[in-house]
Every structure is written in structure tokens, then in C-alpha cells.
Amino acid sequence: METRRVIYPVLYKSAHIVTITLAAFIVFTAKPGSSLFSWHPTLMAITFLFLTFEAVLVIDSDHSPLVGSSRSTQILFHQIINISSFASAMCGFVAIYYHKDISGYEHFKTWHGTMGVITLVIHFLQIIGGTITKYRYPYVQKLLNLKLNGLDLKIFHSSFGLLLYAVVWLTITCAMFSSWFSEYVTGIWWSICILSAVFLAIVSMHQILLFFILFVQIRIAEMFINGFVAIMRQLFFKTNKSSLKSK
């Protein structure tokens, strides 16, 4: 309890400062507009260090910048920020793809490039999953003979979020080993960037993990309550039947 009250707010506030500073540092290093390539680090930093990070914070009831607003408003903002982040990531991808085409480089030859594509695919699936979690689409579920309730979908959405964040941080860390980044950012600054990425990875995954644990706890409680109700019902019917027979 004490940890939640004292350490978490400090941790989240520092993560906020670190993520914005790191994004600003990458944008500053890339000098957006100086070349087609410059848009790739710029847009990816804005997408994954700012937008997706804020999208998770916005729905955190304790640390949301929209604290005090209704849950549906927070979820609406979560959805809008995530959809915009996907559009921004796509533009960042197109920029690097065309830059490599024009420069005659081969595609997806590095760990960063390969992890990057995986990240973009998981990001897309997560947006689709989030939309399904929000609207549930009962008609489609009926058509596919599925019976997923809101809680199941939330558990799935947060587990996939964990996976997304794991690949995002791997991709960003690999980017810091790219020849472009290690040419412009050296020495202590490079080490600070890597440490910041590791710190942000821990905080963001911890935050999503808390959501996941909460949903799983509710699911377990729901199963216990359902089991208890079923047992009570059976006991009640049995006693009722036997009392009717004895009459």
C-alpha cells in the first residue's frame, strides 16, 4: 500500500519526464525535415516514446492526466491517441522504406529492421484488438460462435499490450546500436539513452502488468462467485425437493 502511495507516483512522474526528454533528444538529433530519413527516428520517437506511452497513462485511474473525467472519456482518448500513433508509425515506416529504396539499400537486413516490422504488425493487431475490446461486436461473435465477455477481452488486450511493449523496447534499443545513432550520439549520452530505454521499458511493462493482474483477479473472483452461486442453487433445490417429498 505504502509502495503504491509513495513510490508509484514518483516512478510514473519520472517516467513521464524521461520519455518526453528521450523523444525530444531523438527528434533533436534527427533534425526533422533535413532529409527523408530524418522523419523515421522523429516519427517513431513521437509514436512510441510519446503517444503510445501517454495512451496507457491516460487510462490509469490514479495517474491519468485526465484524472477526474469519466472512464468513457479516458477510454475515448486512449483510442484516439492509439489510432493517431498508428498513423504516425506508418508515416515513419514509409519514410525509412523509401529512403532505403532511393539509396539502394536492402530492406530488413538488421535486427532493428526485423524487430521493427514485427513491432508494426503487433501494433496494428493491438489497435484491432482494442477496438474489439471496446465494441465487442456481439453479432460477429454470434456469427463466429464465440462467447467472449468484456473481461476476457480486457485480459487479452492487456497481455497483447505487454507483448507490444516488449518488442517496442527491443526495437528502440536495437535502433540505438544502429550506425546512424551511434555516430551522432556517443559516450555518456549514448549510455544515458540506453539506460532511459531500459527504465521506460520496466515502468511501462509494470503498468500494463498491473492492469493484467487486476483483470485476472476480477476473473478469478467472478469464477469463485459463479461456483458459489451454482453450489448454493443446487443445495437450495435439493433441500426444497426433499422438503416437498416429505410433505
Binding region for ligand HEM (CB under 6 A) = 26, 40-41, 44-45, 48, 93, 96-97, 100, 107-108, 110, 112-113, 116-117, 119-120, 168, 171-172, 175, 178, 180-181
For residue 99, the minimal CB distance to ligand HEM (Å) is 8
How far apart are alpha carbons 161 and 112 in whole angstroms? 20
Measured from the CB atom, the residue of 23 and 58 that comes closer to ligand HEM is 23
The grid coordinates of residue 192 equal: 544515458
Q: Where are the alpha helices (DSSP H) in 2-103?
A: 2, 8-30, 39-45, 52-58, 71-103
Measured from the CB atom, the residue of 39 and 215 that comes closer to ligand HEM is 39
CA dihedral angle for residue 12, residue 14, residue 18, residue 19, rounded to 10 degrees: 20
For residue 119, the minimal CB distance to ligand HEM (Å) is 4
For residue 50, the minimal CB distance to ligand HEM (Å) is 11
Measured from the CB atom, the residue of 74 and 119 that comes closer to ligand HEM is 119
Measured from the CB atom, the residue of 121 and 221 that comes closer to ligand HEM is 121
Cα dihedral 99, 104, 108, 111 sign: negative
Measured from the CB atom, the residue of 64 and 196 that comes closer to ligand HEM is 196
Q: Which of 39, 26, 27, 28 is nearest to 89 (CA)?
A: 39
For residue 41, the minimal CB distance to ligand HEM (Å) is 4
Supply the Cα-derived Rg of the chain in whole angstroms: 23
Q: Which residue is nearest to ligand HEM (CB)?
A: 116
For residue 30, the minimal CB distance to ligand HEM (Å) is 7
Measured from the CB atom, the residue of 48 and 86 that comes closer to ligand HEM is 48
Q: Is 59 helix (H, G, I), strand (E, B) or coil?
A: coil
Class of residue 126 by CB neighbours under 10 A (exposed 0-12, middle 13-18, buried 19+) = buried
Q: How many other C-beta atoms lie within 10 A of the C-beta of residue 182?
A: 11
For residue 203, the minimal CB distance to ligand HEM (Å) is 16
Asked if 174 and 112 count as a contact pair (C-beta separation under 8 A), the reply is: yes
How far apart are alpha carbons 90 and 29 in whole angstroms? 21
Measured from the CB atom, the residue of 92 and 153 that comes closer to ligand HEM is 92
For residue 108, the minimal CB distance to ligand HEM (Å) is 5
